[in-house]
Amino acid sequence: MTPRQRRLALVAGILAGVSVAALLAMRAFQDNVMFFFDPSQVASGEAPVDKRFRLGGMVRPGTVQRTPGSLEMRFVVTDFKRDVPVRYEGVVPDLFRENQGVVAHGRLGRDGTFVADEILAKHDENYMPPEVAKAIKEKHGGVMPVNPDHKAVPRT
């Protein structure tokens, strides 16, 4: 092979490799991306039944129930319009509590209960997952419901 042919072969090889990699990446992407839905979307049947997704909203006050002494728990995620019951078994994050934003990963069961395998509540008192904030904001015509025990710190 002349140097020119060799270089051409090299470039062709690299291009082929990169395209295969890109193709595989795109497949991995399509199979493994998780979409976000709020309770209203779940109630109207927009959320998939057979695929994992992220459910986000507020933990409705007074709905957190535990089987005493076990890791099983149930609570209701709400966007103040529709509710979705959630079942989870495991350790919840430090900042999981009633009337706080939460994101749950899992699947929707046939009975309409969301079976979560992971619960996220981020490490910040004032934290509201942006997607949850947005979803709730849209439901309330731009007004965020105020969390009563949220201690507001003025930031001038």
Helix (H, G, I), strand (E, B) or coil at 119: strand
Q: Which residue, among 94, 82, 89, has the nearest Cα to 120 in the 3D structure?
A: 94
Min. distance of Cβ 140 from another protein in angstroms? Answer: 18
Rounded to a whole number of angstroms, the minimum distance from the CB of residue 115 to another protein is 16
Q: How far is the CB of 143 from another protein (least distance, A)?
A: 20
| Comparison of 109 and 130: residue with beta carbon closer to another protein | 130
| C-beta of 8 vs 28, nearer to another protein | 28
Closest distance of CB 80 from another protein, Å: 19
Backbone angles phi, psi at 55, to 5 degrees: -110, 130
- CB nearer another protein, residue 68 or residue 141: 68
d(CA 54, CA 86): 12
The CA distance from 2 to 10, in Å, is: 12
Provide the token pair at 127.
């934290």
Alpha-carbon distance of 1 to 36, in angstroms, equals 54
Interface positions with another protein (CB under 8 A) = 3, 6, 14, 17-18, 21, 24-25, 28-29, 31-36, 54, 66, 68-71, 89-92, 94-95, 122-125, 129-131, 153, 155-156
Q: Calculate the CA 59 to chain-centre distance.
A: 14
CB of 14 to another protein, least distance (A): 6
Q: Of 32 and 111, which has the nearer Cβ to another protein?
A: 32
- The smaller minimum CB distance to another protein, of residues 81 and 111, is found at 81
Task: Round to whole Å and give the CA distance between 54 and 121.
Answer: 13
